A and B are shown apart, each in its own frame.
Chain A
Amino acid sequence: MATVLENLNLEDGKSEALRSALACISEASAADGGPRYAARVCRALGRIVVCRSYAKPIMELSHLLACASVRDGRFEDVFWGIDRASVGEFRRSFADFENVSPRVQVTDDGVTHKLSDGDFQVSYGRMPFLAALLEFMIMALGYQKIDELTKPLTQTSLSESRVLDVAKSLQRSLYGYLKDHIPPAQRQRRERHFLNYVAERGGNRTGADAISDSIVLDYWVAFADKDDIEAKTYRGVYETAVRLITALDSAQDRLAGSHAASIGTDYEAGEIDPADIEVVSVALDEGEGPLARIQEICGEQIKFVNSNEADLFSEIPLATGTGRRLPVSVLRNGVFGASQLRMTTALRRKTSMKDVFPSIADKIYRTKLQTYRDAIEVTERLALASFWLLHQERRAEAINLALRLAPDLNWEALLGSTDEDQADNVVSLVRTNAIQNFYATEARAKGNELESLLADAKRAWRSVNRAGFKEPSPHDVDIVEEAVPDVLRLIETVHRFLERDIHSVDWPYFEEHDIGVFRDVLNSLYSFEMSEAKDAS
């Protein structure tokens, strides 16, 4: 019989095989060296593997394989005959399938698999993810296995039930593989411990509402110096609280929305629907936040947000619920969380602790808030500058930008585009004229509202000195257009926090109160004042 250690090593080896298979997907590269699969696709793949919520995607994949095989019995060329698994590449690939078979209909949005007992549509937007899933299954189960299991899909006549059979056999095989290869989940001790603390102190409040600024601070004060739970850093505790709020809000919505009637049954059985877990874990995906999306889309090419700004904005919670519930904790993390990090770094490097802790005279929180305001103003200026660029390039996103930058503009009067007496059949003509008028508008500082907005945008454009904003190439313009919705989302998020979430906080009180609390706890952890004194002498 194998020892516990041997079993542990065995398990480690098996999970490494799974990790390697997933790593192959995220490390697969296109001809230009860039990733073949987008990061969000790889994250989504990891989620469905862990949550085991692959039934629906495998069904979609089976239909897609059947469509891709219809030309010559081989689906491989569709999936790997493209350089990058992107929506555009799949759209181009399937353009060759028009009129190849009555079973496959190519549309603007995707492909429709027309079977005698019903149609099934797969959108182009889903195809990159399904391609990653297929390649993962090949890496995990072997090409031979996948080839055998999917052979029935290459037949000329297919029924819905046959496709379902194939999907089920794929699911069974994947289930068997994952059963052997997924390592046991690590129970999140810290989150559970925190939730228990909240339950004891939350009073009448439930769910995420029970988590407040005082609870977060009290928890840290209570457990920072304890060894049996990891709560030493304020930042760690704060991030645990943020994670829990996000997950609880999402779980609340999910359970209220779809499974209200069966909560009791599920709970008593101790089972949680994998689909629910997957949906809630999406909310936890930091990669879906506007800041991460901007960084992913723009790379080093377009600097909407530089690294200092990115560090600042990463301190502001992006989920709606967090800023509203923990406004002071956000600032505590930004100021004292950073201070604690400087202390641990100084200890590790054996350098001076001088100036690691802020002074009451610094108006720490109000200064920090002003830093956030200054930073988002820069982002707003860049958004305005990009409005000028996109307007000149006649890109569709320019209209969206204009609507967001100047929501109070009287569009109808400006563009002369309405006439209540117009018949319905002239609406599209009127709209077309309005769009033409929009792009034909010129920048004039003393003109109407749109003209002066354009003049501001032009001025902003000329004053910008950031990568991508000087003589942009057509590719740069594409990136700007793609990034703008997330830039606007970021601006909205930061403004929501700065204007709504912290609206009624008494900052001078908290500055004075928190300096004392944090000094005491951090001194007990690191004796930093003694070190400071020693350095001074």
Chain B
Amino acid sequence: MPADSPVNELALAAIEADAQAKALRTSRNELNKIPFSMLYAFVNDPQFIPPLDFNAQINADNDAQQNLDLLLEKASLVHMPMLAAASSGDSILRETDAATIRLTASRAEPEQVYLQIQMKDVDAPMPSRLFVRKSGEQWIRMNLSEFVDAKVQELLAANDPVTQALNAPDSEVYLR
């Protein structure tokens, strides 16, 4: 059989493809890509614990940031886009047709605040997670306690990243 017969060519092409596939499987992953399945779990699985360097990885991965934004947009029950939060006494209030989020400083412990979320449709599915992002930064996720009568209240430290993000008037919020 001549060395360049169709059988030989196909065999060699397959060997080359096999070698190429093996080479593609050995990645240094210097680009530090975050698997999409991890982003999905971050948005949808309350028991998911992100790796310690998750934020650093997200910061370095523009594609993952875009994927995450779209996942949040599609999966969320309530979206509060960047808008000036209204101040009401000692509280900061955000309100849409679907929900109200209120942040109130504790009179008892000034370094702590109460986060209250009230859903306006008591029959709608209740969220179990809050995502908040200050402009230019990454999403922060917080699991919410169970809603009772369409309301939930959480106690946070004033310097908690969630508190600080919610305090920023230009931050964006999703309830999932």
Residues of A within 8 A of B6 (CB): 255, 263, 266-267
Chain B residues with CB under 8 A of A50: 17, 20-21, 24
Which residues of A274-293 have CB atoms within 8 Å of chain B's CB atoms? 276-278, 280-281, 283-285
B residues 15-43 near A (Cβ < 8 Å) are 15-38, 40-41
Given A76-B74, A254-B10, A138:B27 Cβ within 8 A? no
Give A191 to B18 CA distance when docked, in angstroms.
13
Determine how close the nearest CB of chain B comes to the CB of A385; give it in whole angstroms.
36
Please indicate the chain B residues that have their CB under 8 angstroms from the CB of A47 in the complex: 17-18, 21
Complex interface: chain B residues within 8 A of A191 (CB): 12, 15
CB distance from B154 to the nearest CB of A (A): 25
Whether a CB of chain B sits under 8 angstroms from the CB of A51 is yes
Residues A28 and B38 in contact, CB atoms below 8 Å apart: yes
Flag the segment in B64-72, B79-87, B89-97, B106-114 that touches A.
Answer: B64-72
Q: How many A-B residue pairs have CB under 8 A?
A: 180
Known contacts A27-B35, A188-B19, A206-B1; is-contact A143 B67 (Cβ 8 Å) = yes
- Nearest Cβ on chain B to A195's Cβ, whole angstroms: 5
The B-contacting residues of A in range 86-120, CB under 8 angstroms, are none
The answer to whether the Cβ of A447 comes within 8 Å of any Cβ in the partner chain is no
Of all chain B residues, the one with the shortest Cβ separation from A202 is B1
Is residue B122 contacting chain A, with contact meaning CB distance below 8 A? Answer: no
Q: How many chain A residues touch B (Cβ–Cβ < 8 Å)?
A: 72
Docked CA distance A23–B47 (Å): 25
Residues from chain B with a CB closer than 8 A to the CB of A36 are 35, 37
B25 pairs with A49, CB closer than 8 A: no
Find out whether the CB atom of B21 lies under 8 angstroms from the CB atom of A46: yes
B3 at the interface (CB under 8 A from A): yes
Q: Say whether chain B's binding surface is mostly helix, strand, loop, or mixed.
A: helix
Quick check: is A185 within 8 A (CB to CB) of the other chain? yes
Is B14 interfacial (CB 8 A cutoff)?
A: yes
| B15 contacts A243, C-beta separation under 8 Å | yes
Q: Which of B13, B24, B30, B71 contacts A46 (CB 8 A)?
A: B24
Q: Give B65 Cβ to nearest chain A Cβ, in Å.
A: 11
> Which residue, of A26, A250, A281, has the highest number of chain B Cβ atoms within 10 A?
A281
Complex: how many Å from CA A17 to CA B75? 28
What's the least CB distance linking A38 to chain B, in Å?
14
Nearest residue, chain A, Cβ from B9 = A272
B10 touches A16 (CB 8 A): no
A46 lies within 8 A of B25 (CB): yes
Min C-beta distance of A383 to chain B, whole Å: 31
| Chain A residues, Cβ within 8 Å of B29 | 19-20, 23-24, 27
Q: Is B164 an interface residue (CB 8 A)?
A: no
Measured between beta carbons, the chain A residues less than 8 angstroms from B136 are none
Tell me if B104 is interfacial: C-beta within 8 Å of chain A: no
- Chain A residues within an 8 Å CB radius of B35: 24-25, 27-28, 36, 135, 139
In the complex, what residue of chain A is closest to B63 when comparing beta carbons?
Answer: A142
- Give the secondary structure class of A's interface: helix
**Docked complex Cα distance between A266 and B31 (Å):** 40
Does chain A have a CB within 8 A of B7?
yes
Q: Does B8 contact A (CB under 8 A)?
A: yes
B66 touches A143 (CB 8 A): yes
A 191-210 binary contact with B (CB < 8 Å = 1; else 0): 11001101100100011001
CB proximity to B under 8 Å, residues A521-536: none
Interface residues of A in 241-270 (CB under 8 A from B): 243-244, 247-248, 250-252, 254-255, 263, 266-267
Complex Cα gap A192–B30 (Å): 33
Known: A17-B31, A284-B14. 11 other contacts (CB 8 A): A20-B27, A43-B21, A46-B22, A49-B24, A76-B74, A188-B16, A191-B15, A210-B1, A248-B11, A272-B13, A284-B15
Q: What is the interface of chain A, defined by CB distance below 8 A to chain B? A: 15-28, 31, 36, 42-43, 46-47, 49-51, 74, 76-77, 80-81, 135, 138-139, 142-144, 147, 182-183, 185-188, 191-192, 195-196, 198-199, 202, 206-207, 210, 243-244, 247-248, 250-252, 254-255, 263, 266-267, 272, 276-278, 280-281, 283-285
- Can you pick out 26 interface pairs between chain A and chain B where the beta carbons lie within 8 Å of each other? A22-B24, A23-B27, A28-B35, A36-B37, A43-B21, A46-B24, A47-B18, A50-B17, A74-B74, A76-B74, A138-B67, A139-B33, A144-B67, A188-B15, A196-B3, A207-B8, A251-B8, A251-B14, A252-B7, A255-B10, A272-B10, A272-B13, A280-B10, A280-B11, A281-B14, A281-B15
